[in-house]
Amino acid sequence: MARTNKTRDRIIADLTKKYPAGPRGRYSKASYTVVNQWVSVYDRFVNVQTIPVLSSATEADKILASNYGYTDEQLFGLGLRSERQCKSSSALGAGLTPMTLARRGRLLWTRIEAAIRRIKKTGILGGWKVSSWNAGNLSPLSRARGGMYVHAESKADAESKILLILPMLQTGCRPGRALTLDEISITFSDVMSAEDVDAHNLDVAGASVNEIEERIKQYEKSIADQRARLEEAKHARSQFIASVLLISSAEDDSVEEF
């Protein structure tokens, strides 16, 4: 989920400036050093405005400087996940030419891409996707259904929560075995509220329940058909036995006449 429009637009506008001011205007042009470095988005070496930090600085401080004062969570909260989305963001400005929009969008992506990748790798409080190819098509965990979500702050937290309900999500597994945690994929999806996670899971579970109910109807109809055939077979057996007995009786009567 993205931040409020006002905060989101302010951050995006700041990050598309040549020298971003950062939160509360902590940086100025004098804060920057221009470094010529390789940027994959441009596929070439370009001059990049960077905020120098001491070699003794913590990893958190280095990341903060590389994010122009914003945290990874703040940049992820912008809701932009690709260069294409950056280029099409309305927060880039109104009345701009396509070329200017493309240039600003590309610059924006170069400045938030690393934070997006870090969050996707480590995850934060939000929706964690849980799925498995071995769950069976009727299970809410089925990857074909998109899997379920767990509201958690880390992968370990998501694992502990899914283990509580895993025995109830075995529908469609091969008979005689249960899913193990090694067969389940748990990945961070996006910043989501607990309510959003619940809504998604209700939709997935609802679809699973509907299909299971439809399958139950099919089984019940199949059972009814089989029972009807069973009764027909029993009736045919009775008729066959009766006819054999009748023939046998007729033969006995014929023998007695002699």
Summarised one tens digit per residue, pLDDT across range 179-200 is: 788 889 999 998 888 999 999 9
Q: Which residues contact 45 (CB under 8 A, 6 or more apart)?
A: 36, 37, 38, 39
- Domain ranges (residues) in the chain: 5-122, 126-210
Mean pLDDT of 59-84: 95
Higher pLDDT, 202 or 169: 202
Q: How confident is the model at residue 87 (pLDDT cuts 50, 70, 90)?
A: very high
CA angle 79, 85, 89 (to 5 degrees): 80
Higher pLDDT, 2 or 235: 235
Mean pLDDT of 104-108: 96
Q: Per-residue pLDDT tens for 110-158?
A: 999 999 999 988 999 999 999 988 877 777 888 878 889 999 999 999 9
Q: How confident is the model at residue 166 (pLDDT cuts 50, 70, 90)?
A: confident
In angstroms, the CA 122 to CA 120 distance is 6
Q: In this predicted structure, what is the pLDDT of residue 1?
A: 45
Please give the share of the chain, as a percent, with pLDDT higher than 70.
Answer: 91
Return the beta strands (E) in 119-167 as ranges: 126-131, 148-152
Q: Tell me the two tokens of residue 42.
A: 């441009």
Q: What is the mean pLDDT of the chain?
A: 88
